[in-house]
Structure 1
Amino acid sequence: MTGDVNVVGLYVRDQDEALDFYVGKLGFQLHTDVRNGDYRWLTVQASGQAAFQLGLFRPGPPVHDADTARTLQQMVAKGAMPPLVLAVDDCRAACEELKARGVEFTQEPMERYGAVDAGFRDPSGNGWKMIEARGR
């Protein structure tokens, strides 16, 4: 079977806080926000990526028990989850724009491996690498 990846989930501690960060600061667009009891399916999309969504999910029921949810939240807060990668045309300019919106960087733009990259975290602790795409 071959298919397209449609949604990649990201654990967040607070979905409203995450939505504000991803839409208000990074410029993503809200795709889906629906509730089923205490469960909330919340996804956003980067501009121009109609088929791909980033899910902003809280660890917990109905998917996780309380102990697993706490462990996952602690791992995210410590930066233990793999970083996500955001491709941009100009890393230095994007860094300045995001700083003006209140994004705090953990690594300033630097050139290495033939590209410029920088690092930041979302409010839950998820790490991001912002990389200047070659030939974009």
Structure 2
Amino acid sequence: MSTTTTTHNHLDDNCIFCKIINYAFMDIEPLSEGHSLVIPKYHAEFMHQVPDDYLADIMPLAKKIAAAGGFAQYNVLQNNGKLANQAVPHVHFHIIPKLDQETGLGVRWNPLKKSMDDIKVTYDDIIKKL
């Protein structure tokens, strides 16, 4: 995928999120009242592609938005890739208030049937690559 990313500001002229000046803004297709987005000012599709220094302020800002919104319960969500429900190919974090059962984020949680030995093999593989 070719981009028109410039080296001086790490943004992509074709990306809608790169064109937005703010680090945080309201989602235009909210799952609940107050659904907000926080974005790093660095164009990358996947979180692991964003330099750490561009991510440093993301969680503190998400925390401030949740507190300022008075969200008693909420989800902080970040998707990577289409299969993971990423709609805009620029890393972004959702702050989604969970006001009731019908609004907010719905989560399907179907744990795999894995033995502790299988889990340890995966763990050891990840640790070796860190």
**Length-normalised TM-score, structure 2:** 0.24
Higher share in strand: 1
**Length-normalised TM-score, structure 1:** 0.23
